[in-house]
Each structure stands twice: as C-alpha cells, then as structure tokens.
C-alpha cells in the first residue's frame, strides 16, 4: 500500500504577510507524514515590479510576462518568497527544499503559444519528473515549490501555482497516496456565496454536474473543480478545497470521484 | 577509492554577463565526473539595490546587510542568478539543482557577532550537512550553490561565496576526492603582478611561507591561500586558482600540501 502524502497549495496572500505565513508554517509543520508545499507570490511580484517602474498587466487573472517581468517573478517566487518559507520551515524542524521546475528538471513546460493573447514567458506544464522528487520525499525532505518552470532550453517560465500543484500531485500519485489541498479564501465550495457557513462537505462528479446545472457552482470555481476531477482521474486520492488556516481540520469541501 | 569531484567557485562578474556566463556553462558542462558550482552575484545585487533606492555599503569587500539588503540578495542570489544558471545547465544536459544553505539544511551559519562593525545579516558558516547532498551528487545531480545560508531560526544570511565553496569542499571530501577550483580574474597566483604570464604553477605550504616572506604573495591573496591550505588539511585533495575561462585546462596555480 502506498504511503500518505499531503500536497498543500497556498496562494500568495497567505505567504506574503507575516502573521498568516507564520500560522501556515506552524500548521504545515504539524501535518504528519510526507508532504509538499506549493506557493504563489503574485502580490510581492506586483509590488517589486511597481518599485522598479515595471507595469503589471493581468489578463484573465494571468500575468503577462515580458523579459523584465520574468526577472521579477524569478527573483520574488524563486528567491524571496521561496527561501523565506524554506528557512521558516527549517526553523520548525521541517527539512524543506525549495524548488522551481528547473531544479533537477522537476517540471518542464512549453512557452504558451500565442493565440489571441501573447502571455510572454508563461509555461504550460508538459512533464513532471517525480522520480528524484519521490526519492527525496521518502528520505524526509519536504519540497517547497515556487510557481516557476523551465523550457529545457535555458529559459525560466512563469507558471500557474494551481497547475503546478495539480500536475505534481498527479505525478506523485504513482508513488504515494496523495491528498491535494487547495487553500482558498473561503471555507470551501459554498452552496450560497453569501453564507460563509454553507460549505458543501463532499462533491462527486455526478453531484458536480447537477450543482453546475442548478447554478450553485459557477464562475472560476468550475475550472477549479474540473481540474480537481482530472487529478482524481489521474490517480490522486482526494482533493480538498478549504481555508489556509484550516489545513489540519476536517472541514472544507472534499472532492471525490 | 573515492570518486573524483570538482567544485568550481565563480564570482559574480562571470555569471552576470551573458557572454561570460554562456562560456562558463559550456565549460562547466564539459567537466567530467561529479561536480558542484558555487556562484556569487554581487554586481547584480548592487544594481537591483540601486534601482530600489537602497544604498550598498561595503566594508573590507563585504556587504553590510540590513533587512532590506537581505531581501535584495535573497532575490538576486537565490532567485535570479541561481535559477538562470540552473536553467542554463539543464539546457546543456546537466541535472542542476539550485540550493541555498537553507535548502535541506545544507549550510547552517551564525549571524556574525558585532565587534567593531555590524555586518547585519551576514553568516559565518557553522556546519555543512553533506549527507543528502552526497546522495544526490552520486545520483547525477549537480548542486548549484548561491552565497546564502540560514541560521536555523528562520533567517536567511548573506554568506561569502569563497567560504561556502571552501566549507562545502571540506565536507564533501569525506565522500569524494575533491578538487576545489577558485576562478579568478588572473591566470593564477603571479610571481610578478604586472606580468600576467608569471603564473606560479604549484605552491606548497613551505613555498607559500617563503613567497610571503619574500613579498611575492601579498594582500588579499594571503587569506585566499591560507584558506586553501586549511581546505587541504581538512581533506580536500587539491586547490586550483585559475581563470574562469580556463577551468578545463591544466593551467593556473595548484595548491598542494
């Protein structure tokens, strides 16, 4: 039987403010068994870009990444945010290892083809190499993954953290019994968006289609859940959508096949 | 018998300009056997600090590292410069892994005690954990080390790249037959500082003391050579001081016990 592994994805907001970061690090350190952390960092990137006089352009929630912006996100995601988390986890007894997709060729991407929009140096994940990663995890190392990959031709690529979490969870599910946890600004998927306590405790694929048909689930939550079902189909055991402050609790919405 | 490992230390100047960086990456990729790269990045840090309106203060060639400067060097060394090298090596078929001392707790330091000068968040290396590093190297992974360590209490520390190279070489010499190569702006240790071709091919400890007594070796080269002999005493097989562009040639100055 495969051993349990928890892969937590947290957005930039959580890891960029000291109070929420420290709480997250404490909670993450308390998770038993094998684990992986995937983080964002968009707010810090926007702030640094501003200070450098580089304009941030977002389209559909994605950052247009020109050469200057790529330098900014490489510095912020791969350097500042990642190493801050790694040092914080080491202080809590977690043997963290900060990674981008370029490190040990863990995640290789292709530069997003230009259709209507030129996103610039943005990567679409092509391949996750989980072998060395799996070895390290089995030795007690805890990967901390920044939202950056590479193209195998010498270029870093800005890459969506949700995608990195999903693709890494899928690849690791060949070696571990993986629970993928998406931290979210709400307690879970809500039946009524105006009622924070109306969390739907579990959703399977049949229920999902019904909830979409009924208009209960809409907007950005639809692709999030579609990605979750895709991860489950690819071998991930469970996907949880919950508050970052509740990763050690039984709450949130559990997505199951 | 231990297997050969070459540890190359290059300064910031080499890795921060495209032409010299690409030449270095090609040369480094061509080195046979196990290898490690340690890099600087000071010029890029100074440039970024300037753009952010942060003044750079240097004392005895060391950067005074206040909280803002620590963020800058963490971004530049751990993010921009390190990941650029890692992606460039991956493109050349080298399975590079970018590391700071915080990653896998590879190098732990103490914040330099304040005596005459307060260097701020600068680390003096206390301990190198070569075990996991050695395992990875034996699996074909090539560590690329940024001049940053941590204190085990959640803080990153700015750390001299020469020191990181020396201490890592010493620790790895328990597992490998280590040659430590310091890349330098001259062809080696010169008998006559005005004659670039007056390279002293080999220096042992007795010769070193004589060359210092004769005034041939002076200034910053004295501590560099003292550190080299210390590394040799601690188990490193050979220390080479040479041009970055000549790491695959037999030139330079070879320091032996």
What's residue B219's pLDDT?
Answer: 85
φ, ψ at B112 (rounded to 5°): -60, 125
From chain A, the residues in CB contact with B96 under 8 A are 102-104
φ, ψ at B145 (rounded to 5°): -105, 125
- For residues B94 and B28, the answer to whether their CB atoms sit within 8 Å is yes
Which residue from B208, B204, B206, B189 is spatially nearest to B238, judged by alpha carbons? B204
pLDDT tops 90 at residue B199: yes
pLDDT tens digits, residue range B209-227? 999 999 999 888 898 899 8
What's residue B152's pLDDT?
Answer: 98
From chain A, the residues in CB contact with B84 under 8 A are 74, 156
Residue pLDDT tens, chain A, 257 long? 899 999 999 987 888 888 999 999 999 999 999 999 999 998 999 999 999 999 999 987 789 999 999 999 999 999 999 999 999 999 999 999 999 999 999 999 999 999 999 999 999 999 999 999 999 999 999 999 999 999 999 999 999 999 999 999 999 999 999 999 999 888 999 999 899 999 999 999 999 999 999 999 988 889 889 989 999 999 999 999 999 888 888 889 999 98
Total residues belonging to chain A: 257
Neighbours of B250 (CB within 10 A): 9
d(CA A182, CA A7): 9
The number of CA neighbours under 13 Å toward the Cβ of B128 is 21
pLDDT tens digits, residue range B38-84? 999 989 999 999 999 999 998 877 899 999 999 999 999 999 999 99
What's residue B212's pLDDT?
Answer: 94
Question: Counting Cβ atoms within 10 Å, is residue A250 exposed (0-12), middle (13-18) or buried (19+)?
Answer: exposed
Q: Which candidate in B22, B45, B83 is best for mutational testing of the A interface (most A CBs within 10 A)?
A: B83
The strand pairing partners of A9, in sequence order, are A38, A182
d(CA B211, CA A29): 54
Predicted interface score ipTM higher than 0.90:
yes
Tokens coding A182: 């998406």
Which residues of chain A approach chain B closer than 8 Å at the C-beta?
48, 51-52, 71, 74-80, 82-84, 86-88, 90-91, 95-98, 100, 102-105, 132, 135-136, 139, 141, 148, 150, 152-156
What is the pLDDT averaged over residues B144-162? 97
From chain A, the residues in CB contact with B77 under 8 A are 79
What's residue A27's pLDDT?
Answer: 95
- Three-state DSSP at A144 gives strand
What is the pLDDT averaged over residues B121-138? 96
- For residues B100 and B150, the answer to whether their CB atoms sit within 8 Å is yes
Residues 6+ apart with CB under 8 A from A148: A73, A74, A77, A78, A100, A101, A102, A156, A157, A158, A159, B83
Q: Is B31 left (phi over 0), alpha (psi -120 to 50) or beta?
A: beta
Tokens coding A216: 């209960």
Neighbours of A164 (CB within 10 A): 29
Q: How far is CA B237 from CA A233, B3, B132, B255, in A?
A: 53, 12, 22, 9
Determine the number of helices (DSSP H) and then strands (DSSP E) in chain A.
Answer: 9, 14
What's residue A15's pLDDT?
Answer: 86
Q: Which domains does chain A have, with CATH numbers?
A: 4-255 (3.40.1160.10)
pLDDT tens digits, residue range B79-123? 999 999 999 999 999 999 999 999 999 999 999 999 999 999 999
What's residue A74's pLDDT?
Answer: 98
d(CA A255, CA B214): 77
d(CA B185, CA A234): 53
Which residues of chain B approach chain A closer than 8 Å at the C-beta?
48, 51-52, 71, 74-80, 82-84, 86-88, 90-91, 95-98, 100, 102-105, 132, 135-136, 139, 141, 148, 150, 152-156
pLDDT tens digits, residue range B168-182? 999 999 999 999 999
φ, ψ at A176 (rounded to 5°): -135, 165
Report the first-to-last Cα separation within chain B, whole angstroms: 20
The strand pairing partners of A34, in sequence order, are A5
Q: Is B10 left (phi over 0), alpha (psi -120 to 50) or beta?
A: beta
Tell me the average pLDDT of chain B: 94
Q: Is A228 left (phi over 0), alpha (psi -120 to 50) or beta?
A: alpha
């Amino acid at each position: 039987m495969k051993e349990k592994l928890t892969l937590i994805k947290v957005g930039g907001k959580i890891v960029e403010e000291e109070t929420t970061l420290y709480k997250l690090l404490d909670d993450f350190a308390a998770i038993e068994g094998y684990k992986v952390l995937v983080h964002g960092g968009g707010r810090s990137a926007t702030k640094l870009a501003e200070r450098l006089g580089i304009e941030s352009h977002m389209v559909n929630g994605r950052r247009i990444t020109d050469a200057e912006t790529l330098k900014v996100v490489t510095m912020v995601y791969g350097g500042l945010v990642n190493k801050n988390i790694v040092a914080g986890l080491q202080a809590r007894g977690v043997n963290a290892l900060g990674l981008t997709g370029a490190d040990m060729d863990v995640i290789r991407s292709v530069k997003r083809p230009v259709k209507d929009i030129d996103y610039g140096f943005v990567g679409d994940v092509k391949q996750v190499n989980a072998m060395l990663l799996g070895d390290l995890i089995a030795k007690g190392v805890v990967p901390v993954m920044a939202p950056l990959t590479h193209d195998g031709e010498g270029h870093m690529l800005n890459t969506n953290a949700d995608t990195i979490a999903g693709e890494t969870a899928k690849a690791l599910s060949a070696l571990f019994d993986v629970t993928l946890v998406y931290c979210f600004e709400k307690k879970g998927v809500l039946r009524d968006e105006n009622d924070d306590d109306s969390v739907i405790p579990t959703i399977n694929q049949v229920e999902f289609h019904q909830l979409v048909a009924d208009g209960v689930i809409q907007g950005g939550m639809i692709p999030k859940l579609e990605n979750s079902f895709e991860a489950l189909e690819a071998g991930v055991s469970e996907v949880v959508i919950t508050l970052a402050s509740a990763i050690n609790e039984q709450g949130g919405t559990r997505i199951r096949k």
